[in-house]
A and B are shown apart, each in its own frame.
Chain A
Amino acid sequence: MVQVKMHLLVCGGTGCRASESKRLVDELNAQLQANGLADEVKVVITGCFGFCEKGPIVKVIPDNTFYTKVKPEDAEEIVKEHVLKGRKVTRLLYEDPETKTHVSDSKHMEFYQKQVRIALRNCGFIDPENIEEYIVRDGYAALGKVLAMTPAEAIDIVKKSGLRGRGGAGFPTGLKWEIASKNKADQKYVVCNADEGDPGAFMDRSILEGDPNSIVEAMAICGYCIGATKGLIYIRAEYPLAIKRLQVAIGQAREFGLLGNNMLGSDFNFDIELRYGAGAFVCGEETALIHSMEGKRGEPTIKPPFPAEAGFLGKPSNVNNVETFANIPAIFLKGWEWFSSIGTEKSKGTKVFALAGKINNVGLIEVPMGTTLREVIFEIGGGIKGGKKFKAVQTGGPSGGCLTEAHLDTPIDYDNLIAAGSMMGSGGMIVMDEDDCMVSVAKFYLDFIVGESCGKCAPCRIGNKRMHETLEKICQGKGTMEDLDYLDNLSKVIKDTALCGLGQTSPNPVLSTMQYFRDEYLAHVIDKKCPAGRCKALKSYVINADKCMGCTLCAKNCPVSAITGDKKVPHVIDQAKCIKCGTCYEKCKFGAIEIR
């Protein structure tokens, strides 16, 4: 048998696949074949490496060489130089933006140095469609350990670990399991919430694509603890790759006797089914999710009764989020003492964040609780794109808030973020720079909420609509000071009276931006100006006569002929005709057009 000497790991996550990583894999295999290396070097399609900004990524094992933005055409050089001759292809290595030097391997990249990977421990290391690779990395060993304990002992370990729900609210997981275990019923259910709906969040998808087996194992552990024999994964239909990999993982687990009857020689039976979402943000709320799984409209209902008492088909059900489950096997393998030694006093372990927006290193990261926003944004995230100035970071998606420079040194945990007026949420983290208008951002989230409100309760259905209209009015330059008070009052009413979590948190983006960026609201209302130059109705394009060369390019391109002037004489824009399309601004070669 020929021993595999080298592995080429290629990211097969959604982001990298969109940049042709599939064709890259074919090309690498063809090159290896052509050079007679097919037996010695193995190409593995893995889950997300997290460094999505520079995808597709190829990582070489054992030397950890980290190639970025690899194109199918680069395969030949990688094989001929690196694989055959042991010479790294320097031009494909990651270049440190500050020192401008190429970094030889992933261990020396600042992006990875501050990270601690528990939930993402296997993402980017294993072939997610091969259960044996998971088993080699201690997969299903945790389940074996748990089956040798009593359910109460196992629940006690989860409780002591201090793990809290990673879906956003942060409810203690061990306590949730204990409540579900104590409710007596002929049938109970373990439900995995994989309805990741926050715009800009892709943590759960990456875990499911990169390490689906860990979720299967964790659900089986949960089933044993609470006395359930059936598991259901509620997953978005928009995640076809994650669905496929889960199906493969479940199928292989059944073959290996790791799902089904008498698992690992015990008398415990457990199996998992998939249920598909159909595009409704509110279904991330657990009661709505359960109704959707029953084939109904995904409308939430008042709690109590909690799902732990009466959930799916009226039976006790324990609902946990994907990332919460991903932590479970690690807790049993390494012990609750280890897990609870990471993080802050009340928030243990790590948190996965999807970094996106105006940041250099867009990607998926996992850091210990208590890491500061500054470390995440400026060290791991590599700072703001294009050398612009940091303005705000939005955490918690449509339920969260915008935090400012003043919060950059706040250690991230559940309680600190809530105290600062935002929330942990599921882990989306959108960075904004000086060009982003915070009133528009608040309007953007409200627009999302208005579209996604299920319409069952009036505060959310009507209140958010009114909020959206008021914000629109302000962005149009028609806002008044009374509108700001109106927004503030309405926000409080919606928070107090909405039926479910979606409605109760929906005013957060408005409240937090009004609190921290009040001057921007005032600029819109009083001065009728948008300081970031984002709000179309409030900006005007003006030609700076000192810079204008009279080249006539702007006048030729203006779609409404609002620009006039003779050749070689500074031009003028007729504000009454201008439709603010920005064409002149883009076309001018002399930077003479200014936005005011």
Chain B
Amino acid sequence: MSNIKLHDSQIRQIKDICASYGNKPGELINVLHTTQGVFGYLPEEVQREIAKNLNIPVAKVYGVVTFYSFFTMKPKGEHAISLCLGTACYVRGAEGVLDELKKQLGIEVGQVTPDGKFSLDCLRCVGACGLAPVVLIGDKVYGRLDPSKVKEILANYR
């Protein structure tokens, strides 16, 4: 168990979210979506609270959280960087962009920079294939990239 202690207000927040879905176990995925929207991630303590409210085993909550790539148990960086590794981006050179991102940030996929500013993830197709290769920083889409543009883009966020 990690050493996060939830505040009473946070426990209440989780309770309210679960109640808004009628505390139904069938609504687990919606509950997790909303909770992650509020907390940014789903640490173990949060999962325990959800399990309590929906009256299901924690293992079930954990099973669902770890099954779906959208849910994360680790906090993301202030600027979450997602590189599209869909086929269209792949054949147009996304791997080179990824290597450059790793080099510039000094982290691997799935990690956060020590200052908490950037996190790096890969995702499968945002559907902007006309702009391939594509990188998302937060909600902003950067298209038609090549490794030489990476440094300049990151500079906007540093």
Contacts and interface: CB of A to CB of B under 8 A. Distances in A.
Given A279-B69, A444-B87, A198 B128 contact: no
Contact of B124 (A14, A15, A430, A448): A448
B11 interface: no
Interface string B97-108: 000000000000
A18 B125 contact: no
Nearest to B84: A199
A27 B91 CA distance: 35
A237 B132 contact: no
Given A200-B86, A295-B64, A297-B63, A237 B33 contact: yes
A281 B130 CA distance: 22
Nearest to A432: B91
Interface stretch (B2-10, B24-32, B111-119, B149-157): B24-32
A52 interface: yes
Given A199-B124, A295-B27, A354 B68 contact: no
Interface in A487-509: none
Nearest to A435: B91
A233 to B, nearest CB: 14
Interface stretch (A75-83, A111-119, A174-182, A355-363): A355-363
Contact of B33 (A17, A202, A276, A397): A276
Nearest to B64: A297
B131 interface: yes
Contacts of A198: 125
Given A278-B33, A294-B26, A200 B68 contact: no
A280 B130 contact: no
A106 interface: no
Contacts of A202: 125, 127-129
Nearest to B71: A278
A363 B29 CA distance: 33
Between A18, A201, A430, the greatest number of chain B beta carbons within 10 A of the residue's beta carbon is seen for A18
B41 interface: no
B91 A15 contact: no
A292 B128 CA distance: 26
A144 B66 CA distance: 45
Between A280, A295, A354, A356, the greatest number of chain B beta carbons within 10 A of the residue's beta carbon is seen for A295
Interface string B66-92: 011111000000000000011110111
A281 B68 CA distance: 9
B19 interface: no
Contacts of A357: 87-88, 91-92
A105 interface: no
A238 B129 contact: no
A55 B143 CA distance: 12
A454 interface: yes
Between B64, B68, B127, B141, the greatest number of chain A beta carbons within 10 A of the residue's beta carbon is seen for B127
Contact of A278 (B24, B26, B32, B85): B32
Contact of A354 (B29, B30, B64, B129): B129
A436 interface: yes
Given A295-B28, A444-B87, A55 B68 contact: no
Nearest to A17: B141
Interface of B: 24-30, 32-33, 63-64, 67-71, 85-88, 90-92, 123-132, 134, 141, 143
11 contacts: A15-B127, A199-B88, A199-B90, A200-B129, A202-B127, A205-B127, A238-B123, A278-B33, A295-B24, A354-B129, A362-B132
**5 tightest A-B contacts by CB?**
A52-B130, A278-B68, A199-B86, A18-B141, A356-B88
